[in-house]
Amino acid sequence: MARVQRAAEAEGAESVAFLRALIRLQAQGEEAVQARLAEACVAAGCQVERRRYRPADIRLRDEFAAEAAMATEEREAVLARLPGTGGGRSVIFFAHPDGEPFQAQHGWTHDPLAGELDQGRIHGWGVADDLAGVATMVEAVRVLKAAGLRPKGDVILASTPSKRHARGVHALLHGGVTADAAVYLHPAESGIGMREVKALASGQLLFRVTVPGRLPDTQEPGHAAFAHVAVNPVDKAMVVLAALRALDARRGARVHHPALDAAIGRSTNLLVGDIRTLGDGRASRVAPAVQLSCALAFPPGETLAAVQAEVEATLAEAAKADPFLRETPPKLEWLSGVTGAEVTLDHPLWIATAEAVTRGTGHVPEINPLHTSSDIRNPMVQSGIPCVGLGPLCGDLTQNGGRDEWVDAADYQRGVAVVAMLIAHWCGTTAAD
């Protein structure tokens, strides 16, 4: 491990330069980023193929997304294999090269496509979501080579589109790519960087409820005088909201997971994140309907179907108890759903990861169980492959409305070392010829 650490330190400046180059290549589009990645993988000794696919063609297990939410264009995943010398365990590292759509009016103080290094931070569009993850896996293999080591088990690097349900890693998993373990490389949003590991991902359902009303029978432009003969959907939305609140309370009392209870004091939540009337916004008119947009987080062990059934039963009961909604029930639309998964603390992958993080950072890692629907779920749910996630310190993410998105340069370099050490620990190594 000391040999790998020394190589990572010696190659640190080159690792930073590679990440900054990927940031700059975004000006030429995602394909340019993928091409540079493929080139770097070949130079590191990998066998590279580029697979094209359409997200809608990928059939998933225990996951869905409404067609309107999905990317429809053909996409490309880069798959690189570093063949092992034999006798070791295999691993897939994956990350996504696509970020949020670029905004010309971004309001950044740094050039978002220049890869500026300022006060120890690498700034750039998508650097934390997820170009740093893409760069880390390539640089880790290069560092291992610089250390004069070859893995015994196969190492697979996958740069796979992810945004808007692009399903890149799903395409590879369902296309025959497999290994003994997987690691999702993505900078840590929680503020402690490489000192944490994602080993648990809750499932999440997104859904929309449209609650109807009834306009008054008049051609008058104002409805205030007729409000008593209308059915205001705002009032009926309160009925539905009360039913959803009651469901949330029942689930909160019944559903428990030790890691989630310990971390946040609760293992499941139902959030009504947006409420809007489907009228013209005038205070003097009754809206035809009210729309509630909701998210329900649930722990590993619960199934999508069971949670969906609870929501459906709750809405049906609320409608049955209300004379108007009984005749004109709310409309439920499922927007997307993913299933939770986890790696336990006694699993060999967790043990190997914890050792690599401890050696690379000097700190025993913490588990972050609070990243709902994390992509660590994908290998576990789709292919039964244990998976954890890790990445360097980052901040001001564009996807969260931030500006000047950044990754800590020193922690990114530590991440490269940790991943190289993880390969050595998990796959085993031999001296290169």
- In the chain, where are the structural domains located? 2-201+341-431, 203-338
Domains 2-201+341-431 and 203-338 share a fold: no
Global pTM reads 0.93
DSSP string for residues in 340-391:
-EE--TTSHHHHHHHHHHHHHHSSPPEE----TT-TTHHHHHHH---EEEE-
Architecture of domain 2-201+341-431: 3-Layer(aba) Sandwich (3.40)
Encoded tokens for 6:
């020394």
In a 13 Å sphere around the CA of 59, the CA atoms on its Cβ side amount to 0
Structure tokens at 346: 């006694």
Secondary structure of residue 129 in the 3-state scheme: helix
Tokens linked to 55: 């997200």
- What's the CATH class of domain 203-338? alpha beta
Instruction: Select from 223, 211, 219, 215 the least CA-distant residue to 283.
Output: 223
Which residues 6+ apart lie within 8 Å of 312 measured at CB? Answer: 332
Per-residue pLDDT of the chain (433 residues; tens, 9 = 90+): 789 999 999 999 999 999 999 999 999 999 999 999 999 999 999 999 999 999 989 989 999 988 888 878 899 999 999 999 999 999 999 999 999 999 888 999 999 999 999 999 999 999 999 999 999 999 999 999 999 999 999 999 999 999 988 999 999 999 999 999 999 999 988 889 999 999 999 999 999 999 999 999 999 999 999 999 999 999 999 999 999 999 999 999 999 999 999 999 999 999 999 999 999 999 999 999 999 999 999 999 999 999 999 999 999 999 999 999 999 999 999 999 999 999 999 999 999 999 999 999 999 999 989 888 899 999 999 999 999 999 999 999 998 889 999 999 999 999 999 999 999 999 999 998 6
